[in-house]
Amino acid sequence: MRTYELLSIIKPNIDSEEFDKEVSKIEETITALNGKVTSTDKMGRKKLSYDIKDFRDGYFVVHNFELDPAQVSKFNRQLRLNENILRIMFLETSEVKA
């Protein structure tokens, strides 16, 4: 298992209930792939530097989690298929052991 950080920008035109559902859907996807969510930070609605799919702002969420490297491509594909997610940034945060 490696540790990862996911920054996702969710469409601003959804209500708070739907936003919470999207966040929990991401967490459920991680656990369905035998991963473990260590923290979730809902940063709120923020203005974007440039328009993404004709939106000027979006809801920012940061997930820290552990996942098997073999499952990363499946997880990435499922995120990209979600229509309510405008953009994702996926980083590996595992430390290199010498």
Assigned domain for 95 exists: no
Domain count across the chain? 1
Q: Where are the alpha helices (DSSP H) in 1-98?
A: 16-32, 72-81
Nearest by Cα to 84 from 49, 59, 47: 59
Determine the Cα–Cα distance for residues 36 and 62; give it in Å rounded to an integer.
14
Assigned domain for 98 exists: no
Assigned domain for 18 exists: yes
Assigned domain for 97 exists: no
Assigned domain for 19 exists: yes
Q: Residue 43 sits in a domain of what CATH number? A: 3.30.70.60
**CA–centroid distance for 84 within its chain:** 11
pLDDT tens, per residue, the chain with 98 residues: 899 999 999 999 999 899 999 999 999 999 999 999 999 999 999 999 999 999 999 999 999 999 998 999 999 999 999 999 999 998 998 775 55
Range of the domain at 38: 2-54+61-87
Assigned domain for 69 exists: yes
Assigned domain for 94 exists: no
Surface-to-core class of residue 78, CB atoms within 10 Å of its CB (0-12 exposed, 13-18 middle, 19+ buried):
middle
Predicted pLDDT of residue 94: 75
Assigned domain for 35 exists: yes
